[in-house]
């Protein structure tokens, strides 16, 4: 069985765009409206000379009244629990939100290793964008632009080391 990586984060942070950047497909549904990817969506990342791995896109954990108990959130949580590694995706333009805090609290309870991915950093100062999330205390955090495929190779290097 191939190792798997789950993309977890609130809606609209760019998980599906990252999925596309990692799988180099247009497979995932990317939409301006949050919550488009309802169920788990699987792709395979194949890099020359590397062991392939499965990447799981999730619908995101929304801040509705059901919060982490909602149906889509449950799917995301199940995906994270089944994965070998989790990419916690946040929005570098909006900065940390209370929903991000909530997702992180939950992620810390899962036994999975987690890397922080600060997305949408195109046109931003990468260091400042990462500093926004410094209080999350991640040893490994990456400023990327999934839409412009910036920072993806660095992320992949670390990800492959951890799998």
- By beta-carbon proximity to Mg ion, the closer residue of 10 and 159 is 10
Taking a C-beta distance cutoff of 8 angstroms, is the pair 5, 44 a contact? no
Distance of alpha carbon 16 from alpha carbon 87, whole angstroms: 12
Instruction: Tell me the residue number closest to Mg ion, measured at CB.
Output: 16
Nearer to ligand GDP, 51 or 133 (CB): 133
* Shortest Cβ 150–ligand GDP spacing (Å): 8
- Residues of the binding site: 9-16, 57-61, 119-122
Interface residues toward ligand GDP, by CB under 6 A: 11-17, 30-32, 34, 37, 60, 119-120, 122, 145-147
Given Mg ion, ligand GDP, none, residue 32, with its beta carbon under 5 to 8 Å by kind, binds ligand GDP
CA neighbours closer than 13 Å in the CB half-sphere of residue 127: 0
Which H or E run contains 4?
strand 4-8
CB of 78 to Mg ion, least distance (A): 16
**Which residue ranges are tagged as binding site for GTP?**
9-16, 57-61, 119-122
Q: Which residues inside 16-45 make contact with Mg ion, applying CB under 5 A? A: 16, 37
Q: Report the residue number, 1 or 127, with the smaller CB distance to ligand GDP.
A: 127
Cβ neighbors of 137 (< 8 A, separation 6 or more) are: none
> Are residues 137 and 110 in contact, defined by beta-carbon separation less than 8 angstroms?
no
Category of 151 on φ-ψ map: left (φ > 0), alpha (ψ -120 to 50) or beta: left
Q: Which residues bind Mg ion (CB under 5 A)?
A: 15-16, 37
């Amino acid at each position: 069985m191939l190792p798997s990586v789950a993309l977890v984060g609130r809606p609209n942070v760019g998980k599906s765009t990252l999925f596309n950047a990692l799988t180099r497909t247009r497979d995932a549904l990317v939409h301006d409206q949050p919550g488009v990817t309802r169920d788990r969506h699987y792709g395979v990342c194949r890099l020359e000379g590397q062991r392939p791995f499965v990447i799981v896109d999730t619908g995101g954990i929304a801040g509705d009244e059901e919060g982490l108990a909602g149906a889509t959130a449950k799917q995301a949580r199940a995906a994270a629990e089944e994965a070998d590694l989790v990419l916690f995706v946040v929005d570098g333009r909006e900065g940390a939100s209370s929903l991000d805090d909530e997702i992180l609290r939950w992620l810390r309870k899962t036994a999975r290793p987690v890397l922080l991915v600060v997305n949408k950093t195109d046109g931003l100062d990468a260091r400042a964008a990462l500093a926004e999330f410094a209080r999350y205390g991640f040893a490994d955090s990456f400023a990327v632009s999934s839409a412009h495929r910036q920072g993806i190779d660095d992320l992949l290097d670390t990800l492959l080391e951890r799998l």
